Amino acid sequence: MEAALQPGLMERLRYVGDHTAHGPKWVPHDVAGAEWEGFEAVRAIDDLDPEILIVPLVGHSRGHSAVAVRDGNGWLVHCGDAYFHRGALDTPPRVPPGFRAFENIVGLQRRLRLSNQERLRELIGRAEQRVRPFCAHDPIELERCGG
């Protein structure tokens, strides 16, 4: 929220006026939470179903988070911009050079972004398909999730 309302120099390109022209009603959330599938500070959103979780994935941007939703087969995890190509979650990662370059250009905290990608790979490896992550930019992943 702070990054969008008071963007730093690099964030000014990311948070443009059109994004908030509709007058959103901002609701800040505490960063405290519980451990969930190897991630810390995970929490449900007040007044919503407790099976909708906010999962911090800082690195792409300040405050970047995933949204995990329980469905009949486990958890769908919308990772937003935590990665841009499904190959980022392969072991070892297989990301086309153009995607890798773009992630490095637009990401604010490379070390944290890569660390969170590693944690997502570990999660996939141990969750036996109970947790199905997908990103905001990969149409193949979106289709796999029923989108």
Say yes or no to pLDDT of 95 above 80.
yes
Give, for 42, the enclosing helix (H) or strand (E).
strand 39-44
Q: Which amino acid is at 36?
A: W
Tell me, yes or no, whether 131 lies in a domain: yes
Tell me, yes or no, whether 20 lies in a domain: no
Q: Are 132 and 145 in contact (CB under 8 A)?
A: yes
CATH number at residue 127: 3.60.15.10
User: What is the number of structural domains in the chain?
Assistant: 1
Tell me, yes or no, whether 113 lies in a domain: yes
Tell me, yes or no, whether 24 lies in a domain: no
The pLDDT > 90 percentage for the chain reads: 33
Q: Are 82 and 123 in contact (CB under 8 A)?
A: no
Beta bridge partners of 68: 53, 77
Please give the distance of CA 67 from its chain centroid, rounded to a whole number: 7
Q: Are 42 and 36 in contact (CB under 8 A)?
A: yes
Say yes or no to pLDDT of 144 above 70.
yes
Domain span including residue 55: 31-144
Tell me, yes or no, whether 19 lies in a domain: no
